[in-house]
């Protein structure tokens, strides 16, 4: 199986101690976000975890303990945008702090396993297309030689972020302008030996050099594991998403990055209340087990192909 850590919250930044403690224990609990009384117990031993995908805006808190992941293949989706603290309120200064952190991670685990995410791309009067192109090139220049892949996406409006998006004055580009913008992004990236892909986008940007990408990418995982992976498309994601199936071990309303475009938090107050429940030694992230909870052990297995096929010969 593939572990996603996590689309729902920034585990490397805020909960790496909890996650690495769970790695030592060999299991964790995940509460069902749609059925609150249902909890899954998930075995996370190296025998069943084929790869771990980390999603983060700041992996630095994990650096001291990365060695504890030695038995697991893994890679990082590292979000690094041009937004200031008016949009991403709790992220340290990009040039002074986050770009050096990105480079350090790349040096530690190899540039192929650190994927740069410039997403979501949100257009406002301040953060207009020209601003993003300048910011993207500045970051790409700083990351030259430290990554080989960039994922982009354009901000979507959900029920949880609708008011915030409206308050920001977010707007969309016409299809023609969006294609032209994406083409410039791809051209800039290529100048720094970075291949660009889109994430869960309905728009076909292949004409400007941007293919539909997969964040949890079967081919990529096969390359870093050296094994074929027998996993299908993740049916729990949007139809445009090409990711293979995975188990997400995060929890909603726990991310403290403070991004105004966030879809994973209901409100800052809800996040604050939930985070008070954090216990790095609990099997459950930000919560406790009650008498009304039902814990079920999830059936998990490795998806690695153990036998050669005709295509391997």
What is the pLDDT at residue 307?
52
CB count, 10 Å around CB of 312?
Answer: 8
What is the pLDDT at residue 29?
98
Cβ contacts of residue 78 below 8 Å, gap of 6+? 56, 57, 59, 102, 105, 114, 115, 116, 117, 147
Residues 155 and 162: beta-carbon distance below 8 Å: no
In the chain, DSSP assigns E strands to: 2-5, 27-31, 38-43, 51-56, 74-79, 114-121, 149-154, 195-199, 211-213, 247-248, 294-297
What is the pLDDT at residue 309?
53
Sketch the domain layout of the chain as residue ranges: 2-312
- Give the residue carrying structure tokens 């090409």: 242
Predicted model pTM: 0.93
**From first to last of its 313 residues, what are the pLDDT tens digits of the chain?**
999 999 999 999 999 999 999 999 999 999 999 999 999 999 999 999 999 999 999 999 999 999 999 999 999 999 999 999 999 999 999 999 999 999 999 999 999 999 999 999 999 999 999 999 999 999 999 999 999 999 999 987 777 788 888 989 999 999 899 999 999 999 999 999 999 998 867 677 888 888 888 889 999 999 999 999 999 888 877 767 879 999 999 999 999 999 999 989 999 999 999 999 999 999 999 999 999 999 999 999 999 986 545 445 4
Query: What is the rounded CA–CA span in Å between residue 2 and residue 73?
Result: 10
Query: What is the rounded CA–CA span in Å between residue 89 and residue 168?
Result: 14
Which tokens belong to 79?
């979000």
CB count, 10 Å around CB of 32?
Answer: 12
Cβ contacts of residue 35 below 8 Å, gap of 6+? none
Residues 83 and 41: beta-carbon distance below 8 Å: no
What is the pLDDT at residue 313?
43
Which tokens belong to 161?
């972020």
């Amino acid at each position: 199986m593939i572990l996603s850590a996590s689309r729902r919250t920034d585990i490397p930044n805020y909960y790496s101690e909890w996650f690495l403690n769970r790695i030592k224990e060999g299991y964790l609990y995940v509460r069902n976000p749609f059925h609150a009384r249902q909890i899954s117990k998930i075995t996370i031993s190296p025998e069943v975890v084929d790869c771990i995908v980390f999603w983060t805006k700041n992996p630095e808190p994990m650096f001291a303990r990365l060695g504890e992941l030695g038995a697991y293949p893994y890679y990082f989706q590292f979000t690094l945008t041009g937004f200031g603290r008016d949009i991403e309120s709790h992220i340290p200064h990009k040039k002074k702090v986050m770009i050096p952190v990105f480079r350090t991670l790349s040096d530690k685990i190899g540039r192929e396993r650190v994927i740069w995410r410039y997403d979501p791309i949100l257009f406002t009067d301040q953060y207009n297309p020209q601003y993003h192109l300048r910011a993207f090139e500045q970051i790409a220049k700083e990351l030259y030689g430290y990554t080989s892949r960039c994922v982009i996406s354009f901000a979507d409006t959900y029920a949880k972020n609708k008011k915030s998006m409206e308050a920001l004055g977010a707007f969309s580009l016409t299809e023609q302008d969006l294609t032209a913008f994406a083409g410039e992004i791809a051209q800039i990236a290529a100048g720094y030996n970075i291949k660009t892909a889109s994430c869960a986008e309905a728009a076909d940007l292949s004409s400007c050099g941007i293919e539909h990408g997969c964040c949890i990418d079967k081919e990529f995982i096969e390359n870093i594991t050296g094994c074929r992976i027998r996993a299908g498309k993740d049916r729990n994601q949007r139809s445009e998403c090409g990711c293979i199936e995975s188990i997400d071990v995060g929890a909603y309303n726990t991310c403290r990055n403070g991004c105004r475009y966030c879809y994973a938090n209901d409100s800052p107050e809800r996040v604050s209340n939930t985070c008070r429940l954090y216990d790095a030694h609990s099997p459950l992230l930000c919560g406790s087990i009650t008498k009304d909870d039902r814990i079920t052990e999830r059936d998990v297995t490795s998806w690695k192909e153990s036998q050669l096929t005709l295509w391997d010969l």
